[in-house]
Every structure is written in C-alpha cells, then in structure tokens.
Structure 1
Amino acid sequence: MNKHSYKNPIFFISAFVILILVIYGAFFPGKFGQIAEMLFNFTTVSFGWLYLLAVFVFVLFLIGISMSKYGKVRLGPQNSRPEYSFFTWIGMLFSAGFGAGLVFWGVAEPMSHFFTTPFTELEPKTEEAARIAMGYSFFHWGVSQWSVFAVVGLIIAYNQFRKEKNGLISTAIKPVIGKSKFVGGTIDSLAVIATVMGVATSLGLGILQMNGGLKSTFGLPNSIIIQLIIAIVMLVLYLLSSSTGLNKGIKWLSNINLGLCLVLLLFVFFSGPTIFILNSFVLGLGDYLTNFIEYSLRLTPYQGGSWVRDWTIFYWAWAIAWSPFVGAFVARVSRGRTIREFVFGVLIVPPAIACLWIASFGGTALYHDLNSGTGIADAVHEDVAVALFETFNALPLTDVLSILSILLIFTFLVTSADSATYILSSMTSKGSLNPVLFVKVIWGVLITAIAVVLLLAGGLDALQTASLISALPFTIILILIVIAFLRLLKNSQTLKKEKGEK
C-alpha cells in the first residue's frame, strides 16, 4: 500500500473539524457545553418522531431481508466461509457495539427507571415500577439499537466482500446519490465526525465509571485529574494494541472482554438472587415482546414530559451517531457469512447477552432495594457512575468484583478505541483494509482529546449531548442506505437473470 494513500480530503477535513472542536472545547468548555445542549434539544424535540420511525423501519427491513430469498446471499464470494469463529465474532460484535456502555448502564438504567418511572401515573420504587424498569431496559438494549448497526454493516460488507468495492459510506449510497464527489466527500466526512463524537462519548462514560469504581473501591476522589490519567494510560495502551492489527490486538482483547463478561455474569447470577434473576429475565422478555411496537413508536404529545426524549430518543440518536463506526467494524469481521446469519448474529445474540446482563446486574440491584432497603436507586440518582459498585456492596467478594469490573471497563474502552482508530483510519484512507499506523495515531489522539474536552465541558450531560450533533443528518443517510441496498440486490438479481437467459 502506498504510504501517501491517506492523503485525501476526507482525512484533512474531518481531522481539522475535530481539532477545532477540541481547541474550542478546551478553551471555552462552558460555551461548548451550552451549544451541544442547544443542538441536542433542537434535534430531539423537533425530530424525535423521525428517530423512532426510522429505527422501527430498520428492524422490519432486516427481518424481511433475512427471511427473503436474499437471506442466502453471502457477504463475499458465494463459496466463501466465515473468517472468524462464532465465539470470536460475537466477542468482537459485543465489544465494538456495547463497549463500556452496557457495563455503565446495566445497573444504572433499570435503577433510574425504578426511581423516575417512564409513566407519570406509575409510583416510583414499587414492584410495578421495577417490572416496567426491567422491560424498558431490555427494549433500549435490544433489537432496535442493533438494527441501526446492522443496516450500516450489511451494505458495507456486501460492497466490500461481494462487490469488491471500498467500505466507505458514500460508496454504500452511490446507487441513490450518484457519483458526485462533493456529496460523497461530505457524507464520508460527516461519517468520520459522527464516529469520533460517538466513540468519544463512550470513552468518556467509561472513564467516568472507572473513576466511580476507583472511588468506591480505593477511596480515590472523583476528579478531572484522575480522569485525565485514566485517559492517557488508555491512549498509550490502545495505540500499542492498534499497531498490532485486527487479528492480534483487537481479536485477543475482544476474547478477553467476552471472557471477563461471562465470569462476572456467572458470579453475579449464582451469588445473587438466582431465581429472581431468572424470573425477571423471562418476565422482562415477555414485557419487551408484548410492548415492542408501543415502545418503538411511543411519544408524549398530549401529556408532555421529557422522559421519552431523555431515554429512547437519546438512545436511538446515540446508536445512529455510533453507527458508522460499529457498522463498518461489524462489516469488517463478518466476511463470509450469509445475510441471514449476519442478521441473526447481529440482531439476536448481542441483545440476548445484554438482556441477561441487565437481568443479572439490574435485577440484583432491584431485588435488594425491594427486599432489603439497600437504597441503590437513591445512590444512582445522586451519581449514576457508582451504580455497578453500589450493587456489588450487596454481594460477596465485593472488592474482587469491583476490581474485575474496573479491569473489564478498561479493556472494553481500549477495545472500542482500538477498533475505532482502525475504522476511522480505514474511512480516511480511501476504505483501505490495512491503514497506515500514522493515521491510527492521529485518530487515537483526537478521540482521547475530544473525550477529555467533553468531560471538562460538563461531564455526563456534555458527553450525551455532543454525541448526537451528527445523528440527525445521519438518520437521513441510513434511510438512503436501506434504499441503496435494495437497489443493489435487485440489480444483482437482474444481472443474474440476464446472464442465465444468454
């Protein structure tokens, strides 16, 4: 590969925009946070309906395409086979798609809904509030969120491995937008900026939670200095990991992540209220499936309130902002699988693991609050970053669990950042599957810098709002991706028929 292949406008435009955001946020953190908040309010209030409707359509599209005759089409030559084992593949999907987010919200979300309920008529901190909290948490971490990643991943994998084209978003929607270099460049630059903001948000959340864990376990203060030290150590490690390539650093880190997840999950499952966890898991699944359409399209234009905007719309917008990275990474590790295998693997397995995680960790916290008066919900209301560690106080081997969790969060962060630097480097190197190390270093530094700036600009609120700045335009791009993919499949079938007739 030519060492100058990264020298294209996409790299310079997107890196320059992110650099400007880093500098502005570092010198004017208060103003930066205010602008992010204003943009968040505008997009979620005015276009919340679009996010909900689009994600619902994505789910229907993926189910339909997997069940159709196209389900047998391979993401690669028709005689190709998967590049990675099922366990490694799921580990990579899980690490890239959820990262530290699930570890952060696995307890924090159900306890937040338990304390401040999704429905105004529902009394907080009751048995019914606990049931609704679990069902809604399943919904937020389930099929809908992953449908966004799958839509992007499916068309990129099809283009890269079936059509042997590059993995750029502009290439994915070329059947709709045509060959305009300006429009394509704008879309690719937007995808890069969306990825940086989405990854920085996830890193910032993980850094906050690590700081919360260090405070609970070792008594270290919650301070920007500690968070900065975590960020620097993480940067050094994920740059070292990214220099080893996809088949070493990311692959092994993903396996470690999934292994650690399973160890923690099994320990909490068996040392916690096991029967309660199983009951709440099954009931939660039932409530999730029963209320899927209602929750998917739920808005509150008559009674007002901001709960749906603060949770469901925020999650969907976050997933959309996160989708260029996760989708591109999911595509990269899914070579050789059929469309049906891809949709099943991406839409079912990671969400199922997520629901079991929430039932085990969130269920344990709910059980102890309902039956032992532990007050975890109150502690979470005061500081969401300590949710997981407050729950461990109700279990044996508290310190061991806390240390293992801090390690898991850290490896998740390194894996997410490592994966992101690879994908960003590919996106800004004309879709190369083997981008040069220099570009990875640039993106690694910029991602860490924007995460630190967001922490300076207002912690959790700034992290959440900033990630959504690019979500609105990218929602439109995702809709175009669905149309483009259908056209690609239709054209390929037409060509096959014409060849058969000849």
Structure 2
Amino acid sequence: MFGVTAVIVIGFVIWGIADKDSLKTASDNALSWITDNLGWLFILSATGFVVFAIYLAASKYGRIPLGKDDDKPEYRTISWIAMMFSAGMGIGLMFFGAYEPLFHFVVAPPEMAEADIRAAMATTMFHWGFHPWAMYAVVGLAIAYSTYRCGRGQLMSAVFAPFLRGRENGPIGRVIDILAIFATLFGTVASLGLGALQIGSGLAKVGWVDEPSTMLLVAVIAILTAAFVASAVSGVARGIQWLSNINMVAALILAIFVFVVGPTVFIMNLLPTTLGAYLNDLPFLSARSGATVDADGQSWLASWTIFYWAWWVSWTPFVGLFLAKISKGRTIREFVIGVMVVPTTVSLVWFCVFGGTAIRQQTDGVMNFNPDTANSEDTLFDVLANLPWTGIASALVMFLVAIFFVSGADAASLVMGSLSQRGAHDPSRWVTIFWGVLTGTVAALLLAISGDDALSGLQQMAIIAALPFVVVMILMCFALYKDLRNDPLIVARLELRDQVDEHIRQQAIEISTGEFSAVDLSENGSAPSTASPVDTFLSSSSAARSADATGPGKSDSP
C-alpha cells in the first residue's frame, strides 16, 4: 500500500509540474461530469447518513460501547470535543464563517428570496450542520466498532470483514485503504495551500507585507509543516490534544470579541431565527436537486451543495479514522451526539456571530461585498477592518488558521501513517514524518512552480476521489449494521427476551389449562414470596384482571 500510494502521489506531482494546464483541464472536466451526472448520489447518500446515524443513536444499538464493556474514555469530554472539531472543519469555519452567509445573502440560493437573511443562514447551516458530521460519524463509528469492539485492525478495509469474510487483506481491501491514503493526502495538501493563502492575505491586510509573494507562501507552508510534523511525532495526547485545546480557547476569545464589539443584539436575534430556519427548511434543502431548479440553479448546486458533499466525503477517511482513534470507550449514542450535535451547535453560534456581523455591515453600507470579485480568505479580514482593534483581531485570526491547520494536518499524518502500517494504533515515527513532510512538500512545490492553479486542480482531484468513497461509505453502513446485529449485548438481550417470552407462554398455558399445584399458592391465592420477577408480574397482572372484572355491575366469577 505504501509503495503504490507513493507512486500515485509522485505521478500527480510530476503531472502538475510538467503540464499544469492539462491537470487543471482534466480535473475540471471530471468534476463537471460528476456534479452533472452523479449529483443525485451525493444528495441522497448525505441525507441517508444522517438518518442512519440518528437511528443508531436512538435505537437499542446506542448503548453498545466502542470497546470492551468496562473500557473508559481515554480523553476528557471537553478535549475530545475540541480534537474532533479541530480535525473536522475548524479551518473551514475561519474561511467561510463570514463569507458564506454574506454570499448567500447577496446572491440568493435557488428558490429562495433575494437578500433574505433567513434563507442565507439556513443554507449555510445546511452545508455545515448535521450532514457533514453524519458522514464523519458513520465512518468513525464503523472503524471504532471494528477496532475496539471486534478486535480488528484499524483500517478502512477491516470494517468490511462481515462481507469479505477473511479476504479484507486481499486486493479489494488494499484498494479501499489506498484510496483512503490518497484522499487524505490530497485533501490535506489543498487545505494547507488555502491556509497559507489566508495567512498571506492577513499579512497584507494588516500592512505587514505589501503583497503575499509565492516565496512568502512557501515559507509559511514550511513553518506549518515543521510544526505539524513535530506535533504528530509527539503523539495524540501531547500534541493534538494540546493544540486542540489552544484552538478552542483562541476561537472562543475571537468569537466573544466580535460578539461584544459587533452588532450584539442583532446576533442574539439571529440565533433563534437561524435555528428555526435551519430545522424548518432542512427537509426542503435535503431534497433540492437538479430536478427542481433551472440551469442557473443546477450550476449553483454544483458549486455549493454537491461540491460540499463531495468535499466532506473526501475528508471522511482521515477524519473518521481520527475520530475512531480518540473515541475508545464511548458508547454509540454518546459518539453520535458528540460528533453531530455539539459541532453543529458550535457552527450555529459561529456563523451567527461572524456571518451576522458581515450581513449587518452589508445592510448598513459599511461593507460593499461584490460576489464576483470577493475571496473567501479576505472576507473575514474585511469584516474585522470595520471593528476596533483590527490589527490584534487579524493577528489572532492568522494564529487560529495556523493552529487549526497544524492540528488537522497532524491528525492526517497520523492517520496516513496508521493506514500505511496495516492499522497500527501508534504508527512508526519515521513513517509519520514521511507523510507529513511529503504533504508539505507537495503543497510548497506546487505553489512555488505553478501558483495556486495546480493546487486548485489537486483540490478538485480530492473531490473526484470522493466518488468511490460514497459507494464505500454506503457499503460501510451495511457492514456496520450487520456487525451490530451480532454484538454480544444485542444477542444477550434477544436471548433474554426469548427466555422471558417462553416463560410467559408456559405460564399462560398452565393458567389456561389449570395445570398448577395448590402448594404453589399462598393462603390468599397469590404467588409465594420466592417467585421469580416474571411470576410476580404474572400474579399481579392476574390479580389486576380479577379486580377489573369485579367492579360495579360485574360478576364475581373469574
């Protein structure tokens, strides 16, 4: 797996360096074909993952632990939440926190009213709420259950043991794991490049540089790469947990700052409005497809919803595996609630604070947002420019972008190392360093030689890689469900239920035929005190039926 994946990565790097236009054209055409012809697959599967995850949490399977019955969680709940949030989409919130709500407010989504705050916020939450986190939850649950409950290797292919029956280490299993490494690396490369671009934009906005040159961006990538490799080598407990806790505190400080100095009352009013709009419009937004919109609407769906679903799917291999690594000892119900509800709630507050501030500045004429020329990495700095302490706040944003990415890339390098070593819980330090350095090298090389065009092409390749993973994730749901039906807790519960049903049936037969001994009854005709709980229940039920029968106007006969 290691050799094949390395060859594929090097091949794409050579392609991007030798002929960036060809790579860009090929990826554009492939992405266009996927969104035009298979958009329905992403739309249906994304909603299906939400339904499946909620079903598991609410059903009898929710009490099953991700580990042995007596296993305890390895991390405190607050650190667990911080780590999964940083790995899942922390840097994305920095990019789109102000940009996306403002964009949807200025350019109305299909079948929505122009300049409608409610529609803009509901659409944003749809893209960042339950759906993406359900994708992460499905993969994380399947891997965590397979690893810690069933004792299999920590691999994507190991989840399919119920179907492959001992052949998960064969060609099919290896293809699944290679695709996981491939998607993880290129998804991380794209994010590293975008993170460097946003930091460069911030340096220009605060006046520290005139124009972020390519060499400056390469230097930023080199620093971030060194940081996340050092963090990855230090291990999850000391590295990622520490960085994630810093992320959470710094993000909280930034959000409180904007909330206090921004339109506080407007943000408070926007919170219930956004929540209500999101929950109310969720069925409509989930069902919106190319069948209900015109050509412009189909283009919008391809650029936003289908793009997002494919992008989240391309991140599920490493985010799901990372969630599994940090969730041993949690129950399925606790896992689903933690992975879906908590981050969605944080996203709700985040978009209301930053998106609400941006929209209010737009309506007040403080900002003049042009969707044709605006860049996602600039919008947050433009919003902060209209608030006090712009320099300090902008510096905090750049710090957050850097730390968010370091923690996310840290998790990615650990996951790639684990997949390369057949699911090792603690991969070799040198393998982890290899993947971390390769990730940074690919991003820096592409920026240095080709600017961000080839990087954009590789970002699209990560999205294209999501297509086979949609199928993998759907099959993963069936494999997980098959495993859960045979879980010891579920089997024991079914056996106990069958025993109780059989006991009740036998008691009912004896009562109906009169085949019981007088010595089994006490003086008042009730069951003796040594009777089993089932016998006691039957006796009390029989007494209750006799009491009901002996009411006013009823006979005393049985």
**Shorter-chain TM-score above 0.5:** yes
Q: Which amino acid aligns with 2:192?
A: L
Question: How far apart in 2 are the matches of 1:340 and 1:364?
Answer: 35
Distance change >3 Å, CA 313–CA 280, structure 1 → 2:
same
Partner residue of 2:179 out of 169, 172, 190: 190
Among 468, 479, 483, the alignment partner of 1:484 is: 479
Which residue does 1:54 correspond to in 2?
45
Match of 1:151 among 98, 113, 138: 138
Matched, 1:264 2:261: no
Give, as a single letter, the amino acid of the residue that structure 1 aligns with 2:52.
F
In structure 2, the partner of 1:86 is 77
Structure 2 partner of 1:419? 411
Tell whether the 8 Å contact from 1:159 to 1:165 is kept in structure 2 after alignment.
Answer: yes
**What CA deviation, in whole Å up to 9, does each residue of 1:419-474 have, x standing for no partner?**
11001100111100111111111111222233345653517743542221211100
Deviations 1:321-349 (A, max 9, x none): 10000000011111111100000000000
- Is 1:387 equivalent to 2:371 in the alignment? no
Cα deviation, residue 95, structure 1? 0.5
**Residues 438 and 14 of structure 1: CA distance in aligned 2, closer, same or farther (over 3 Å):** same
Query: Residue by residue, what CA displacement relative to the aligned partner does 1:30-82 show, whole Å, maximum 9, x if unpaired?
Result: 22222211111111111110001001011001111111111111111112221
For residues 315 and 225 of structure 1, what CA distance do their matches in structure 2 show? 30
Please tell me whether the aligned partners of residues 25 and 453 of structure 1 are also in contact (alpha carbons under 8 angstroms).
no
> Structure 1 pair 178/48, CA: closer, same or farther in 2 (3 Å)?
farther
Residues 239 and 441 in structure 1, CA contact (< 8 A), matched pair in contact too: yes
CA shift at 1:224, angstroms?
A: 2.1
- Shift in CA distance, 451/256, structure 1 to aligned 2, threshold 3 Å: same
Q: Which residue in 1 is equivalent to 2:217?
A: 227
Q: Deviations over 1:235-277 (max 9, x none)?
A: 1111111111111011100100111111111111111111111
Provide the alpha-carbon RMSD of the alignment: 1.9
Question: Aligned residue for 1:400?
Answer: 392
2:464 match: 469
The answer to whether residue 201 in structure 2 is matched with residue 212 in structure 1 is: yes
Query: 2:285 matched to 1:295?
Result: yes
- The structural deviation recorded for 1:380 is 8.0
Which runs of no fewer than 5 residues in structure 1 stay unpaired? 1-9
| One of 105, 115, 140 as aligned partner of 2:106 | 115
How many residues are treated as equivalent by the alignment? 488
Letter paired with 2:118: R
Aligned: 1:166 with 2:161: no
Find the aligned partners of 1:381 and 1:113 in 2 and give their Cα distance.
15
Aligned: 1:318 with 2:315 = no
* Inter-partner Cα distance in structure 2 for 1:122 and 1:287: 14
Asked whether the 8 Å contact 1:206–1:409 carries over to 2, the reply is yes
Correspondent of 2:6 among 12, 15, 33: 15
Give 1:68's aligned residue.
59
Cα pair 1:239 1:444 within 8 Å, conserved? yes
TM-score (norm 2): 0.84
1:137 and 2:124 correspond: yes
Give me the identity figure in percent: 37
Name the aligned partner's letter for residue 98 of structure 2: V
Aligned residue number for residue 351 of structure 1: 344
Residue 121 of structure 1 deviates from its aligned partner by 6.7
- Counterpart Cα distance in 1 of 2:212 and 2:113: 34
**Aligned partners of 1:497 and 1:88: how far apart in 2?**
34
Unaligned runs of 5+ in 2: 500-558
Report if aligned partners of 1:19, 1:446 keep a CA contact under 8 Å in 2: no
Name which one, 1 or 2, has greater alpha-carbon Rg: 2
Is residue 332 from structure 1 mapped to residue 325 from structure 2 by the alignment? Answer: yes
Contact 1:89/1:333 (8 A) holds in 2: yes
Q: Confirm or deny that 1:450 pairs with 2:442.
A: yes
Residues 187, 459 of structure 2: 8 Å contact kept? no
Instruction: Give a deviation string over 1:272-327, Cα, whole Å, max 9, x none.
Output: 11111121121111111011111112113351221111101111101101000000
Say if 1:421 and 1:370 are closer, same or farther in 2 by CA, change over 3 A: same
Give per-residue Cα distances to partners, 1:458-498, cap 9 Å, x unaligned: 17743542221211100000000000000001122575469
Kept in 2: contact 1:260–1:408 (CA 8 A): yes
Conservation of the 8 A alpha-carbon contact between 1:101 and 1:205 = no
Measured at CA, do residues 49 and 379 of structure 1 come closer, stay the same or move farther in structure 2, by a change above 3 Å? closer
- Do the aligned partners of 1:197 and 1:450 also contact (CA within 8 Å) in 2? no
